[in-house]
Amino acid sequence: MKIEPLDDYVALKPLEADDVTPGGIVIPDQAKEQPQRGKVLSIGPGRLLDSGERASPQVREGDEVIFARYGGVDIQIDGDEVKLVRESELLAKMSL
């Protein structure tokens, strides 16, 4: 099933944090924090401006982004976890 967000919503696949720290310490599942990174799956057409035009989205499908820890809505699609967040809740775009 494909998800098509509306307005300025963005569908993300949350990316899990590493299980081991750079120093080699294994982090148990209970100690892991909610994901804050995700991969953009799909994007809405953009926020509607007062002029009636739509603002162009600042992210594209496939981008890796950082989002607010408790922002958005968690949903399940075909058994996969997907997070719907407003574009304004995205904090940064990762680059290589």
CATH of 9-17+29-93, one of 3.90.1300.10, 2.30.33.40, 1.10.3720.10, 3.40.190.10: 2.30.33.40
Cβ neighbours, 10 Å, residue 73: 10
Q: Is the pLDDT of residue 31 over 60?
A: no
pLDDT tens-place string over residues 33-49: 666 889 999 999 999 89
Dist CA 81 CA 3 (whole Å): 12
Give the predicted TM-score (pTM) of the model.
Answer: 0.79
Cβ count within 10 A of residue 55: 13
